Amino acid sequence: MRTAASVPRSAGIDPAAIPTSGIDGVTDAMLAVKAGEHNISILQDAKAQAEGALDIVQGLILPSVEAGTPNRTEPTRQMTKTRVAIGSDEAGFDLKEALKTHLTAAEVEVLDYGCDSPDPVDYPDIALELAHDIAAHKMERGILICGTGIGMAITANKVPGVRAAQAHDAYSAQRARKSNDAQIVTLGARVIAPELAKTIVDTWLASEFEGGNSTRKVDKIVAFDAQRGRTADDTDPDPETR
């Protein structure tokens, strides 16, 4: 039977990396029940936030606790070490920079598609370039940020083969990957705070497509693009070439 183990202070775990959204979600759910609100969506969101937070904490703690144990059979769940593309318009610039720092510290390779300053830009230009590279398998995952995340999601989903999902909570981020196999997550810098955005991105990156009944549904989306004769090569991110 596995027993609990404590982590020595010398493990080098940054307390700032420990997410608080799981605690906050459970607290909100308990307060809602106490107030007589039996809202299943509140409970589901609390459960997802707690699970996402535990996944992240496990990824931080287990490597330190179990170092020197070569015969482990259980894999450590943590952020998938993939190449991540990130882009924003001017509204999302500050959040993009914060997420870049956060991901780089977690040893995730990040490629910045712009913008490069808070000066105004048109979000479709950023979204189309990034989404096109996702569809062409040049990048594995993408993060797009604007004021609400809505415009980026609409634009990215115009590129055949791309599934972009807006997520402003851990549960949506988790399901976007596990159920919908979304390669892009979009965020609203005017909707969520940076710390929540970090938890959402961490949860999304730690999640993988589960298949099962969702496979049939995602396959129908893929087939719809094929039926219309649309492929990634048909979509050019530069409108001047069309």
Question: Could you give the residue ranges of the DSSP H alpha helices within the chain?
Answer: 21-34, 40-65, 93-105, 123-135, 150-156, 170-178, 194-206, 213-227
Closest residue by Cα to residue 150 from 110, 113, 189, 111: 189
Contact 199, 170 (CB under 8 A): yes
Q: Cα–Cα distance between 157 and 138 in angstroms, integer?
A: 17
Q: How far is CA 153 from CA 25, 57, 83, 128, in A?
A: 26, 29, 20, 10
Is 115 labeled as catalytic in the residue annotation? no
Q: Which two tokens stand for residue 122?
A: 């048109």
Catalytic residue (one of 79, 146, 182, 196): 146
Tell me the C-alpha to C-alpha distance, in Å, between residue 69 and each of 62, 65, 190: 11, 9, 45
> What positions carry a catalytic annotation?
146
